[in-house]
């Protein structure tokens, strides 16, 4: 019986002999057992399709809205090329590529919600002959995403969006310089000024009215289109779109409209989840009035004399001095004596034995009202700041919040939140605690009120004072009313004893 090598030699010989003689020489027939055997083996392909997973872009984030795609199927991408822009509940970020290759599939459309750990797109990756296994790389991406999510739920405050990094951590989004003209023109909501200048909330309003961003001049920084810009545009074109009254349907004449379902924005969705968790916290409210007459006088002096505040700057701009940095400093001084208010409640390490973790750093979240909703950037290590540096830092994070440019680090690790509701209006409020923190403070509107004062001779007189109501909410499971009252008293005493000379700024 011939072995395999002999059969191969006979086949080769027969073929060569036929070519030499110019005739067709048939090779001897092969045994059936030989034909059934396989003599080929597979080798690793130089290219492989990899699913690119959405990494955890911030602690507490479980899903993101796709704002725009910078690529489409068939496009070539290099490492660190922009893939897409996503909007979390707090900020928009740009996702960049880890690989070189060709995009084969997009798993989501614009405005879809993508879950952390799910594939964003598929990339046919070049140079796979380095031994890297597709399934192993995908498993690693999934493990990174799941471990990030687990770390969020067990160790970190959820007052705001928190961050975790990685090799494929998304870069914060600027205007989409790399987006092609074709991809920009294909989406009527992208506009000539770039998708980075239209937030999801404004994008939704534009869709409702069938408007194109390129027709609207944005009044925000760098031409960003604000909600107010869209509303003004709608109001300006409304008078020109009149029609005969006889053609108006009866239900419109009666002022009736059809119900319209409106999906929650990413920020609203995160607020829904956070407030639902807060329902498990037994709140108690404590309010007290603080005399800010001396502080208001000091602020007035700085407002009238710009030279006094020339050393309070953020970049090239002079920072406006307000009450808020003084409140943060007073609060930091107070919680040194009452650390329970600067704590987080840990119920995950041992559910049967909850514990308080007194935080060494005074990281105070500052609620900022923006066109996209309420954001809470964090001022880190307040205990190490002066009033001047606090004013500068508050100005910085507030500006970034309004521009939608906060990075994950700006949203990380709040230990106590301060809401300056008085800047809008209102005096007393019952603020809601954000788990796992134990307290929150709201600052009301400063009012001028008449008050009695006793002069040196013992006579009473009526004078004008500036007063503010500070409203506290605390977790009654771990804090009692007396502790909160004493802490509040210390905050008030510090604010009322401010030196009118301005030395406190240093």
Domain termination site, one of 257, 278, 299: 278
Instruction: Please check whether residues 325 and 446 belong to one and the same domain.
Output: yes
Please confirm, yes or no, whether 283 is among the known catalytic residues.
no
Residue 183: pLDDT band (50, 70, 90) is: very low
Please confirm, yes or no, whether 476 is among the known catalytic residues.
yes
Which pairs count as long-range contacts for 41-48, CB under 8 Å and 24+ apart, including other chains?
Answer: 44/128, 44/129, 44/131, 45/128, 46/126, 46/127, 46/128, 46/129, 47/101, 47/124, 47/125, 47/126, 47/128, 48/124, 48/125, 48/128, 48/134
Instruction: Please check whether residues 317 and 433 belong to one and the same domain.
Output: yes
Instruction: Please check whether residues 290 and 206 belong to one and the same domain.
Output: no
Domain presence at residue 245: no
Residue 257: pLDDT band (50, 70, 90) is: confident
Mean pLDDT for the stretch of residues 176-194 = 40
Domain presence at residue 260: no
Instruction: Please check whether residues 355 and 490 belong to one and the same domain.
Output: yes
Domain presence at residue 27: no
Instruction: Please check whether residues 196 and 76 belong to one and the same domain.
Output: yes
Residue 38: pLDDT band (50, 70, 90) is: low
Domain CATH code at residue 493: 3.30.559.10
How much is the pTM?
Answer: 0.57
Instruction: Please check whether residues 272 and 366 belong to one and the same domain.
Output: no
Domain presence at residue 320: yes
Q: What is the pLDDT of residues 93-145, one digit of tens each?
A: 888 888 899 999 999 998 888 888 899 999 998 765 444 455 555 555 555 54
Residue 47: pLDDT band (50, 70, 90) is: low
Mean pLDDT for the stretch of residues 361-379 = 91
Instruction: Please check whether residues 273 and 319 belong to one and the same domain.
Output: no
Domain presence at residue 362: yes
Domain presence at residue 244: no
Question: Distances from the Cα of 201 to the Cαs of 287, 373, 493, in angstroms?
Answer: 34, 9, 42
Domain presence at residue 407: yes
Domains contained in the chain, number? 2
- 153 CB neighbour count, 10 Å cutoff: 12
Domain CATH code at residue 225: 2.40.50.100
Answer whether residue 8 shows pLDDT above 90: no
Catalytically annotated residue among 222, 305, 480, 499:
480
Q: What is the mean pLDDT of the chain?
A: 76
Instruction: Please check whether residues 149 and 289 belong to one and the same domain.
Output: no
Please list the alpha-helical segments (H only) found in 316-379: 324-335
Domain termination site, one of 278, 309, 342: 278
Q: What is the pLDDT of residues 265-318, one digit of tens each?
A: 888 888 888 888 888 899 999 999 999 999 999 888 888 876 666 556 655 667
Instruction: Please check whether residues 288 and 158 belong to one and the same domain.
Output: no
Answer whether residue 83 shows pLDDT above 60: yes
Domain that holds residue 139: 44-230+266-278
- Name the β-bridge partners of 418: 366, 441
Instruction: Please check whether residues 314 and 214 belong to one and the same domain.
Output: no
Instruction: Please check whether residues 291 and 157 belong to one and the same domain.
Output: no
Instruction: Please check whether residues 302 and 223 belong to one and the same domain.
Output: no
The counts of H helices and E strands in the chain are: 12, 22
Residue 137 and residue 467: Cα distance in Å, rounded? Answer: 61
Name the one residue in this structure whose structure tokens are 């008078």.
Answer: 239
If we measure between CA atoms, which residue out of 322, 344, 291, 343 comes closest to residue 453?
Answer: 291
Catalytically annotated residue among 283, 288, 427, 476:
476
Higher pLDDT, 154 or 460: 460
Answer whether residue 487 shows pLDDT above 70: yes
If we measure between CA atoms, which residue out of 138, 129, 134, 102 comes closest to residue 44?
Answer: 129
Domain presence at residue 432: yes
Domain termination site, one of 215, 244, 278: 278
Answer whether residue 471 shows pLDDT above 90: yes
Q: What percent of the chain has pLDDT over 70?
A: 66
């Amino acid at each position: 019986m011939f072995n395999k090598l002999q059969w191969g030699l006979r086949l080769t010989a027969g073929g060569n002999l036929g070519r030499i003689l110019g005739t067709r020489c048939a090779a001897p027939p092969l045994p059936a057992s030989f034909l059934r055997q396989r003599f080929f083996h597979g080798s690793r392909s130089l290219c492989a399709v990899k699913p690119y997973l959405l990494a955890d872009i911030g602690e507490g984030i479980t899903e993101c809205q796709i704002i725009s795609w910078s690529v489409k199927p068939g496009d070539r991408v290099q490492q660190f090329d922009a893939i897409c822009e996503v909007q979390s509940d707090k900020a928009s970020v740009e996702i960049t590529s880890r690989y070189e290759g060709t995009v084969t599939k997009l798993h989501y459309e614009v405005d879809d919600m993508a879950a952390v750990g799910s594939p964003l797109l598929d990339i046919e990756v070049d140079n796979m002959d380095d031994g890297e296994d597709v399934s192993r790389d995908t498993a690693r991406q999934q493990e990174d995403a799941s471990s990030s999510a687990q770390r969020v739920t067990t160790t970190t405050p959820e007052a705001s969006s928190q961050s975790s990094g990685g090799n494929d951590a998304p870069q914060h989004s600027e205007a989409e310089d790399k987006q092609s003209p074709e991809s920009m023109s294909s989406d009527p909501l992208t506009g000539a000024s770039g998708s980075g200048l239209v937030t999801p909330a404004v994008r939704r309003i534009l869709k409702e009215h069938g408007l194109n961003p390129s027709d609207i001049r944005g009044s925000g920084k760098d031409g960003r289109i604000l909600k107010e810009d869209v509303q003004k545009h709608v109001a300006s074109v409304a008078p020109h779109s009149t029609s005969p009254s006889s053609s108006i349907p009866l239900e419109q004449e009666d002022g009736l409209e059809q119900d319209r379902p409106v999906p929650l924005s990413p920020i609203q969705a995160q607020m829904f989840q956070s407030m639902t968790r807060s329902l498990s916290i037994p709140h108690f409210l404590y309010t007290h009035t603080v005399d800010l007459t001396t502080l208001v006088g000091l602020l007035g002096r700085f407002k009238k004399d710009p030279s006094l505040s020339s050393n309070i700057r953020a970049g090239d701009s002079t920072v406006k001095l307000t009450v808020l940095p003084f409140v943060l400093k007073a609060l930091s001084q107070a919680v040194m004596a009452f650390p329970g208010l600067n704590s987080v409640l840990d119920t995950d390490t041992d559910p049967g034995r909850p514990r308080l973790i007194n935080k060494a750093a005074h990281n105070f979240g500052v609620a900022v009202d923006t066109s996209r909703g309420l954001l809470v950037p964090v001022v880190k290590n307040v205990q190490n700041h002066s009033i001047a540096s606090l004013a500068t830092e508050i100005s910085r994070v507030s500006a970034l919040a309004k521009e939608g440019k906060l990075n994950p680090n700006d949203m990380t690790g709040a230990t106590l939140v301060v809401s300056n509701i008085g800047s809008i209006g209102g005096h007393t409020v019952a603020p809601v605690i954000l788990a796992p923190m134990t307290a929150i403070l709201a600052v009301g509107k400063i009012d001028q009120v008449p008050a009695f004062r006793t002069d040196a001779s013992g006579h009473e007189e009526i004078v004008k004072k500036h007063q503010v109501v500070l409203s506290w909410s605390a977790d009654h499971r771990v804090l009692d009313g007396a502790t909160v009252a004493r802490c509040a008293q210390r905050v008030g005493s510090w604010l009322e004893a401010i030196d009118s000379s301005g030395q406190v700024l240093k």
